[in-house]
Structure 1
Amino acid sequence: MSSATSEKDTVGSEARAIAAERLTFFSDAVVAIAITLLALELPLPEGATSAELLHSLGDHRSEYISFLISFVVIGGHWRAHHRLFHYVTTLGGGLIRLTFAWLLMQVVMPFATKVIGEEGGFEFRFVFYALVQVIALTLFLVMAQQIRRHHLYRADTPPELFGAIFRGVGAMAAAFAVSIPVAFVTQWAYACWIVVPLVASLLFRFRRRPATAA
């Protein structure tokens, strides 16, 4: 009887691991499509001469810069997701619903990129883009919390994994959140996306150094 129960538990564990793996593969595919859609939205330069083509490239520079920013941002989302879900072995804690909500934000990203790349109404365009990032990053933090809370990860998961994710993703969420009110003051609000995570990283290293020395 115990042998049958053990075998049933093993089969159940394997099924849950497969389900988690399928969700990860699906997420990877959706993120890949989102990145592809970014490129499809890029405007083509127009002109009969090289000078006209270069001038057209300059006219569309905001769209190209927005593409590069979003490419890096989506890549960051995927990297964090890949890093965390590499250790996930089972589903629970509403993880499927949270993942689909997170994927929705990834799919909206090409549209948000197109919005922020247009001219005029800077505050609205910037806030919309930043808000998409805040929602996506917050959803990811909730996913990580649920994975840790319900022990949905492998036994060999590095103990520092969740702390690193909460710090890194939390800093990025704070950066986008802080940039929203700043956008109503200056168009240099983009700088928050770099400055806030950098300051957070430096503060963490500064606080960690005395503890290490002690």
Structure 2
Amino acid sequence: MKVNFLKPWAYLAVFAVVLGSCTESVDEEPVLELTQEVAEPSYEQALGVWQELDQEAGNPFGLRLAGNFNYFEISRNQLFFIPGEGYQGGPAPGFYPGTGTGSATRMGRSNSFLNQFAFFEGQELVTVGAPVSAVFGEELAALGIENVPDEVSSLTVDKKGNSIWFKNVKNTVTPVSETLSSFIAEVEIVGGTGRFARLRGTGIVRGNFNPTNGEGRSVTMANLKNGK
């Protein structure tokens, strides 16, 4: 995905989260307390979050939802930073893994894991999906989730180990202010474990986050179907 920074302060904001995140331990385990029962999100709830995110960010993408969806996911997220090879400061090169807690269709309470890699192409900052298992392999194995393909850059799981796997197709991030960036992503569902093992589909993820501390929230809407 290409990150279209609109003003110079956007680089300063991303740099702030790099400096702050580097002081965090990248080995810190995410919260995996999935015993509390949570109702599945409805279309109305997911749409409501979508509209809240749009309003908060000033509707930077000017998009309207179209089509029918049968999978919904609402999550609060925390991003971290892991410097990449040759890192000398700034927002890249480096990995931006993260975790999330929320609710999802056919899961109820859920946790999510994600990973992406940021680098410069000339003066343009670009991010692409990175293997989620490269950072969270041990956590996933503890949940009984193994052999996750490298194309899977994010994953959502419930307390029984049912998981749904997402492949990043295209993602655009737009800075709104020093403390708010907005993103929209196209994803493919490429399988999972348990009840999601044979499912395939496409979806869209809409979210906002604070680039100074990595905190954010997102909503996912997708169409799923049984695959081979």
**TM-score (norm. length: structure 2):** 0.21
Relative to its length, the structure with more strand (as a share) is 2
Larger relative contact order (Cα-Cα within 8 Å, sequence gap ≥ 6): 2
The structure carrying a bigger helix percent of its residues is: 1
